[in-house]
Amino acid sequence: MATTKVSGELVDLNEATSESGLKIPTGTNNNRPATIVAGMIRNNTNEASEGSASCEEYYNGAAWKKLNNVALPPDFKNIAYTGNGGTQSITGIGFKPDFVWIKSTSGNTYSHAWTDSTRGVNSQIYSNDSTAATNLVNVVTSFDADGFSLGSGVGVNANGANYLAFCWKANGGTTSSNTDGSTTSTVQANQSLGFSIVKYTGTGSSASIGHGLSSAPEIIILKKLTGSSDWLAGALDWTKYLEPNGTPPFRTANVWQDTAPTSSVFTVINSSNTNGEDYIAYCFHSASGYSKFGTYVGTGSSNSITGLGFQPSWVLIKSTTSTENWPIFSSSLADNYIVVNTGATAQAFTFPFDSDGFTVPAASGMTNGSGQTYIYLAFK
């Protein structure tokens, strides 16, 4: 039988203070054990991390490494790159994405290209366009361990043009059949990030659709893949909807059966569930420390939105009470923005990302009209 030796240098059986059991030793770098073996664990008071004055560490056989108090990868990344007109791999994402959204920021007014691993890399939809999904082999060609690869399609890789890519991780392309709703859906979900990709086929009747998340979605973006149709977005008020490919404020219609999503399903009416037509839905709820979705009222003067719990790197805003564009602000494109609903290239706009939120400047109906209500989506 194998035996395990517990070294006195590493533990403290301190009954005198009623702390019975093993205690991880604490100290500076100088207090590390003289005899070091792989697997040792201790608390290092020299290593401040993620708001803590110390950090647990372990010895991996070659060096002491941080063990905790380190933020987990958020599974979201926005990145800028320049097209080369041929093929290229975009790296530095830090994970294999399942949803990649690409938009040109210079050059021609190319459409927003949305590609996901549920539909497959050859299928694209465009947030500024009501047309059906297209099948192209020269746009996104693969989802890779640290990013994605591109073909020569000018919408994503024109020579010398600048682009932004927004990347989310779901479940590595592995889908499952979800029968939580009245209509069976195909789902892949990242519950820790609060993000899922949901595909289903319409039945012609009002239906409930399983979304695969552990909490009710706060945002759902829905598109019919076969045939032309407007995009539909549900956001916080489920008696109304928005059109990502247009500029109107909240439209009053019974798209969601006037029913808020639950922790297992969202609902659609028959006109959003055409018999035999395929649909794709992107579902989101806030994830502490990584994403936040909410509302605010414009002031007409500089307006700081706080309480996110993190400094965002990506913010999308839409007025729900007036006809306005859908601007996206990205830390990868400082002092500029793009809009979801058109193919326009980047436009100048000062937009500070703050330690606990963001600041919308004065005198912009798009982001801060006095008395107007706005929704926002923010990711770290």
What pLDDT score does 319 carry?
97
Structure tokens at 93: 């994402």
What pLDDT score does 10 carry?
45
Q: What average pLDDT does the chain have?
A: 89
For residue range 147-161, list pLDDT tens digits in order: 999 999 999 999 999
What pLDDT score does 107 carry?
85
If you average pLDDT over residues 57-73, what whole number do you get?
A: 64
pLDDT at 2 over 90: no
pTM: 0.82
For residue range 170-222, list pLDDT tens digits in order: 999 999 999 999 999 999 999 989 999 999 999 999 999 999 999 999 999 99
2 HSE (CA, 13 A, CB side)? 1
If you average pLDDT over residues 343-351, what whole number do you get?
A: 95
pLDDT at 88 over 90: yes
Between residues 141 and 5, which one has the greater pLDDT? 141
Place of tokens 């219609």: 253
Structure tokens at 369: 């009209």
What pLDDT score does 61 carry?
74
Distance CA 100, CA 121 (A): 10
For residue range 11-54, list pLDDT tens digits in order: 444 444 544 545 567 777 777 787 787 767 777 777 665 556 67
In DSSP terms, which residues pair with 164 in a beta bridge?
80, 103
